[in-house]
Amino acid sequence: MRAHHDKFTGMEAAFRLSWTLTLFTVLGYNAAFGAGERPMMNAVVAHEYGAPEVLKFEEVARPEPKDDEALVRVIASGVNPADPLTLSGKYAREWGTHLPLIPGYEIAGIIEKTGANFTSLKPGDAVYGYPTFGGGWADYVVVKEWEVAPKPKSLSFAEAAAVPMGALTAWQSLVDAGQLHAGQTILIHGGSGGVGSFAIQIAKVRGARVIATASTANQDLLKQLGADVAIDYTKQKFEEVAKDVDCVLDPVGKDTLARSYAVMKKGGIILALVAPPDPEELKKREIRAVGVWVKPNAKDLSEIAQLIDAGKIKPVVTKLLPLSEAIAAEKQAETHHTRGKVVLRIADEPKG
């Protein structure tokens, strides 16, 4: 009996060992190769460059933050005119774009976890920012410390996602490059767009006089945002109204830029966002120009958040669309006639 028992116990032990080894092997395999264990997420993905239609709505592996990164659960993500250009692949080499590409260059969300060296914010913090290489049109995105700051408390996540790109561009143009100050006059082209709508408000905070342009339907918005003079560029030439300005913000280019030199005073500055000014014109009229290329900047985002929470500036959200409408959002961005900002809703606003 004893012998039988021992034999039985031995067989059972062997069976158990073999079962345990099998389980270990399966789990070990999955952990290493991500088959069933790797967390997944929804994302809008491009596997090829092209028109907005190349975007697919897919389930992909959730990114893992490196030591200097945080994983953010995205609640909302903004849409930009540069997005379709990035998607076209035309500037892939210059802009460091890679496939597969998840667009989404402005986000608002909640920190899910942080890498060992990401110490400025912690899990649970509400943040907003500009992930340099996108990734925001997904449930999760990884960010570096310099790309995010605490979200303005007075805004919903959808509103906060409408801020980073436009406000940073306006800030780095007017404050850093232009050093705009009280007593100066600035001409802001495209005052109703993602950049211009913040530029008007930031210029007013700096104490400048603002002349802004937009089409007929957006004249009311220019005034609401604080423009002292609103010009309907479809009905009137801006040079009939704007004279001797200290500063021009140009997010339009072409003929708009070409006609802007003549309205500037000597020593004035052009803040060029889309096209390089003509060096001959600059020399002839003794004006300066700076080409501005927006960069993520946590300190700037914090200062902008303070102004927002102080009620001095606000975003203009024209449309809030579900992530599944990403192609429609991208097509709107291509028009270069967006009023304020289109935002994609990725998850419900957290309660409380």
Ligand X SMILES: NC(=O)c1ccc[n+]([C@@H]2O[C@H](COP(=O)([O-])OP(=O)(O)OC[C@H]3O[C@@H](n4cnc5c(N)ncnc54)[C@H](OP(=O)(O)O)[C@@H]3O)[C@@H](O)[C@H]2O)c1
Instruction: Give the residues lining the site for ligand X (CB under 6 A).
Output: 80-82, 165-166, 169, 189-190, 192-196, 213-215, 218, 233, 251-252, 256, 273-274, 292-294, 336-338
Cβ-based burial of 223 (10 A; exposed 0-12, middle 13-18, buried ≥19): middle
* Angle value at C-alpha 150, between 224 and 311, nearest 5 degrees: 25
Cβ-based burial of 188 (10 A; exposed 0-12, middle 13-18, buried ≥19): buried
Q: How far is the CB of 287 from ligand X (least distance, A)?
A: 19
Between residues 249 and 305, which has the closer beta carbon with respect to ligand X? 249
What's phi and psi for 118, nearest 5 deg?
A: -95, 100
The β-bridge partners of 140 are 73
β-pairing, 126-129 with 140-144?
A: unpaired
Q: Please answer whether residues 130 and 194 qualify as being in contact, where contact means their C-beta atoms are separated by less than 8 angstroms.
A: no
DSSP structure string for 286-319: T-EEEE------HHHHHHHHHHHHTTS----EEE
Q: How far is the CB of 44 from ligand X (least distance, A)?
A: 19
Between residues 280 and 293, which has the closer beta carbon with respect to ligand X? 293
Between residues 158 and 273, which has the closer beta carbon with respect to ligand X? 273
Q: How far is the CB of 319 from ligand X (least distance, A)?
A: 12
Q: Please answer whether residues 145 and 68 qualify as being in contact, where contact means their C-beta atoms are separated by less than 8 angstroms.
A: yes
Which amino acid, one-letter code, is at 66?
K
Residue 288 has a CB neighbour count (10 Å cut-off) of: 15
Between residues 73 and 339, which has the closer beta carbon with respect to ligand X? 339
Residues 157, 145: Cα–Cα separation, whole Å? 19
Between residues 121 and 269, which has the closer beta carbon with respect to ligand X? 269
Residue nearest to ligand X (CB): 193
Alpha-helix runs per DSSP H in the chain: 2-33, 82-88, 92-95, 157-160, 164-171, 196-205, 219-224, 254-258, 279-285, 298-309, 326-334
Q: How far is the CB of 214 from ligand X (least distance, A)?
A: 4
Q: How far is the CB of 177 from ligand X (least distance, A)?
A: 11
Between residues 181 and 336, which has the closer beta carbon with respect to ligand X? 336
Q: How far is the CB of 48 from ligand X (least distance, A)?
A: 22
Q: How far is the CB of 300 from ligand X (least distance, A)?
A: 13
Between residues 70 and 161, which has the closer beta carbon with respect to ligand X? 161
Between residues 111 and 317, which has the closer beta carbon with respect to ligand X? 317
Nearest to 174 by CA among 190, 193, 187: 187
Q: Which two tokens stand for residue 304?
A: 């902008």
Nearest to 164 by CA among 194, 119, 135, 196: 194
Q: How far is the CB of 291 from ligand X (least distance, A)?
A: 7
Residues 124, 210: Cα–Cα separation, whole Å? 40
Q: How far is the CB of 88 from ligand X (least distance, A)?
A: 12
Between residues 57 and 233, which has the closer beta carbon with respect to ligand X? 233
